[in-house]
Amino acid sequence: MGTAYTGRFAPSPTGPLHAGSLVAALGSWLDARAHGGRWLVRIEDVDGPRCVAGADRVILQQLHACGLVPDEEPTWQSARTAHYRQALDSLVEKGRAYPCGCSRKDIEDALAARGHGHARNTELVYPGICRSGLRGKPARAWRLRTGGTAPVEWDDRRLGRQSQDVQSEVGDFVLLRADGLWAYQLAVVADDAAQGVTDVVRGEDLADNTARQVLLQRALDLPTPRYLHLPLVLGADGEKLSKQNGAAPLDLASPVAALERAGAVLGVAVASASTAEWLNAAVQRWPQDKPPP
Ligand code: GLU
């Protein structure tokens, strides 16, 4: 052990926790405890329109019912926008961020003119139209300049060595959105650093964001944490469990049973009568170096 460990669970309050989100909460808690570390909870409510009123409180109650209690008062990203502004200002000062006046249609047209309708999930690879100036258009969003960056290599404790050329695979990504909302990538990097997070433990669906986050850490002279991406719970359609494919809120009739189900996904089989006993036994079984299946 030796070095201090700070981990976190960072739910977006778009609804109550479901079976998949409990796996991320439990995995990050177990890893923090097994390392003798701190465990924080951060409510990621920067995307206001997607948030559901009261979901933050429900999530905290659900965690509490499962015995997952943060070591410090939870934080809300909506209260931290001044820090995101500071991070953006510093990127602008370093010449790493630039304003963009493009609408989605401008971007689609430019991509089509170049003969590729390259869609990445639903995000388009930005073709760099405003990279060298707005040419009279009003600024809508701010983007990170990725030109000239080498492919980002990073290690995941479960998935192994990863590599992504952000410049060609993602492009100059958004830091401050056209609708005035802070982008997840910037908020998460600013907060992980401000909270001294040493270990990011989260669902595998987020692994694809990591290279972007590492680039931002480097641009802001921030340390890169260790990463562990956990297995996902799949819905009946084989997709990641989400509210869109009907994930039910966590069934907390028996919190121990909910922990057992989440533990099974993480390869931790423990039977106990109380949540406290279950959690203690699970920490003993958590493989520190080479976690879950
Ligand atoms: N707020 C993100 C989500 O709920 C998680 C962010 C993270 O763990 O980095 O999907």
Q: What is the 12 CA–ligand 1 centroid distance (Å)?
A: 6
Beta-bridged to residue 143, according to DSSP, are: 98, 174
Q: What is the 286 CA–ligand 1 centroid distance (Å)?
A: 22
Question: How confident is the model at residue 1, as a pLDDT?
Answer: 44
Q: Which atom of ligand 1 lies nearest, measured to the CA of 205?
A: 10
- Helices 19-34 + 255-265 axis angle, to 10: 80
Q: Which atom of ligand 1 lies nearest, measured to the CA of 188?
A: 9
Distance (Å, rounded) from C-alpha 182 to C-alpha 173? 12
Nearest to 42 by CA among 26, 60, 27, 54: 60
Q: What is the 122 CA–ligand 1 centroid distance (Å)?
A: 18
Give the number of C-alpha atoms closer than 13 A to the C-alpha of residue 10, restricted to the C-beta side: 22
Q: What is the 174 CA–ligand 1 centroid distance (Å)?
A: 17
pLDDT tens-digit map of 194-248: 999 999 999 999 999 999 999 999 999 999 999 999 999 888 788 888 766 768 8
Q: Is 11 in the pocket of ligand 1 (CB under 6 A)?
A: yes
Residue with tokens 């996902």: 232
Ranges of residues in the chain whose predicted pLDDT is under 50: 1-2
Residue with tokens 């206001």: 48
Q: Is 10 in the pocket of ligand 1 (CB under 6 A)?
A: yes
For ligand 1, atom 6, the nearest C-alpha belongs to 10
Question: How confident is the model at residue 122, as a pLDDT?
Answer: 63
Residue with tokens 């920067």: 46
Nearest to 206 by CA among 192, 221, 222: 192
Task: Please say whether the beta carbons of 38 and 280 come within 8 A.
Answer: no
Question: How confident is the model at residue 238, as a pLDDT?
Answer: 81
Question: How confident is the model at residue 224, as a pLDDT?
Answer: 98
